[in-house]
Amino acid sequence: MLLPAEVLKAYVDRQVKMLASKLRGYTLLGKKAVELSSTAPIEGIQIDAYYMTDGRPFYQRQAAFLIEPGRAIIFSTTAQADFSSEQNQNWADLLASFQPRQPGATKTDSSEQE
């Protein structure tokens, strides 16, 4: 959850610190700018990381986007091996395919989505 008046970069940095404190060997492998939706692009931040759980490696990718002031949408995927070229393309296709809600559409209670 974003703090009041928190910008996306600060939110992502705070989440990375929290993950690093909770996951043994959490290592940030990369951070880059990404876009959500090819029809109405929303700028965001993607992080790639690595950590160990019960002696097994996990690779995780997350992308965060502000969809309105104070609200973010996060996409996440995890694998036990580094992401392949095909998985990277599927991830890019997923982000590009996102369709933002049209203005005036019925909103759901955000507590139902958590």
Query: 47 forms bridges with which residues in the sheet?
Result: 31, 62
Name which CATH class applies to 8-96: alpha beta
pLDDT one-digit tens code per residue, 12-56? 999 999 999 999 899 999 999 999 999 999 999 999 999 999 999
Give the pLDDT score at 114. Answer: 46
CB pairs under 8 A, 24+ apart, for 9-15? 9/45, 11/64, 11/72, 12/45, 12/47, 12/64, 15/62, 15/64
Of residues 109, 40, 30, 25, the one with CA closest to residue 63: 30
pTM for the complete prediction?
0.84
Domain spans, the chain: 8-96
